[in-house]
Amino acid sequence: MLAAVLRILERLNLPAPAPKSSTGGARRVIEEFKADPLGCLPASIAARIRGSVPLIYAYQPYSPVGFRFKTQVNENAKYHAFFAELPEADHNEIMGWEGSLAAKYHPVLIRGSEEPSEIAAILDFWKQVFEERGIDSSELRSSGGGRLSELLELLVSVDLASYVLALLLEVDPTPVNTISRLKRTLDERLNIEKRVIAELEL
């Protein structure tokens, strides 16, 4: 994954930071996972998510990480998860924590150094609401080092968390049978492959 990101930067003619400076946080997360697979932060988050439905919150520039976490939990752990972006979620979604189903969810807050004061105030308020209502929450915060470094660190962390969750649930993270079945169904019903070939031949 790290190499792929650096290749994208190269194709966009963007300067790629020195590997040590851009991957230090991600490497640290991996080393901590190797040293203590069940005691590191990603594993802790996975354990706290288990048995509830994770609601993942993030803000720009970390929103792609939040969405990635949702999709990795879906795909690797075969488990429902949902993502919402701040500050938009503050306008409506916060009211859901007053409802009767609130205890069934586990909020995960993804944070980094590029956090506006408004977002910091919102998240502090949300955490206060969670505490008042007895709702367990998790926070994943990057250790800094620049935007690319933070994003890589957070991406590795959420990928590991989704993988550990799959193991805790005794689920094989590799097959995506339902996705494959959907693709076959769409192909059979809509003749997608034939339509694409026909379009290319025009």
Mean pLDDT across the stretch 153-176?
Answer: 91
Sheet holding 53-58, edge to edge: 82-85, 53-58, 105-111, 138-141
157 and 184 share one domain: no
59 and 82 share one domain: yes
Has residue 62 got a pLDDT over 60?
yes
Whole-prediction pTM value? 0.80
75 and 120 share one domain: yes
Which among 61-65, 95-99, 183-187 has the top mean pLDDT?
61-65
- pLDDT value for 49: 96
| 105-124: pLDDT as tens digits | 999 999 999 999 999 999 99
Residues tagged active-site: 75, 91, 183
**Local structure of residue 81 (DSSP, 8 states):** -
153 and 200 share one domain: no
Chain mean pLDDT for the chain: 85
The Cα–Cα gap between 8 and 171 comes to 32
Which CATH number belongs to the domain containing residue 119 in this structure? 3.40.50.10490
Domain span at residue 199 reads: 175-202
